[in-house]
Amino acid sequence: MEVLLEASWPFYWRASQLNQHCYVVKASCFVDTIYTVSSNISGATSAIEMILRHLGDVWNLRVKPESKVYLPVRGCPETPPVGELWEREDASLVLGWLIQDNGECWQAWHRTLGKLWRAFFANCRAPGWRKLGSGRRCRLICRCLQPVFLHASGLWPPQHALAQHINQQQKKIVAAAMAIPRRLDESGVDFHRRRFREAAQEIERSNSWWTRRWFLNAISWEAHLRRDLVRQKRFLDGQVTLQDLTSFFSWAPVLLDFRGSEWLEQRREYFFRRANSCSLSSRLRCRSGQAKVATRWHEGVERATNMTQ
């Protein structure tokens, strides 16, 4: 008998027989982080409390008090959390990505910017950095920093304001790598403008704009999710066949159209009608709270498609 061990997420053992002589045993060595999602705070925290009770009764595992946090979406019903020692957060790290309560990604970008500059200075301190030419320095920096940015921007919907800020920071990094000297008859303002202009020309020459790759990756990921639309509709309608369950099926396409553009338009129309009977904090009186409306995924993909054509 051949036994295969495979690490999996569920914190229990499960064995399935592939054939007469082969079994697949799926097990987990430990439980690290558990995430739950619900339409309100009490629903998400109650699911976690059930899991923690099971871990305590069966496995004798206890959770540290400071580890119980919840991230409510801004404007959601403020129901009290189930259990004790819950801390509220405005932004939380989920599997390495920073998620904000209002759907923005500026905090995640500033966190990524710190990683980019740390990687830049790590390369600048390397032996033989000053012996490289200007072009080789730029190619080295783009090759080392671009994967860091593309990994972090995988969840960000394309947006124009953030793209402009990213382009500015990329030109600043490339200009620092090129080490352009200042001319004797050149003012400080003209020098900085020339540095950024030459850095932009070098980036365009090597076709290594980070925002361009960011937009193209968003478009390709959207097309990848849309390819299995038939099985998505069957899953949402509850008409899942045995073949759908046994074959490869991703949960990402199912969530793509969940509360999409039509739902957002209905919510904005609802708050616009509600503004006639009560006062809202929004200036346009069409939202439940005063805040900037974050760019949604479908809006970002549409904008990226128009900009790359």
> What is the domain partition of the chain in residue ranges?
2-99, 105-217, 220-308
pTM: 0.75
Q: pLDDT truncated to tens, each residue of the chain (309 aa)?
A: 333 333 333 333 344 444 444 444 444 445 578 888 888 888 888 888 888 888 888 888 888 878 889 988 887 777 889 888 898 888 988 878 888 888 889 999 999 999 999 999 988 888 888 788 877 888 888 888 999 999 999 889 999 999 999 999 999 999 988 888 888 888 989 998 999 999 999 889 888 899 999 999 999 988 888 776 666 666 666 666 655 554 555 667 767 777 777 877 777 677 666 655 554 445 444 455 555 677 888 888 988 988 877
The type of residue at 33 is T
d(CA 117, CA 95): 22
Q: 309 in helix, strand or coil?
A: coil
Alpha helices in the chain (DSSP H): 41-54, 106-124, 134-152, 160-178, 188-206, 210-226, 229-236, 242-246, 252-256, 261-274, 297-308
CB atoms within 10 A of CB 81: 22
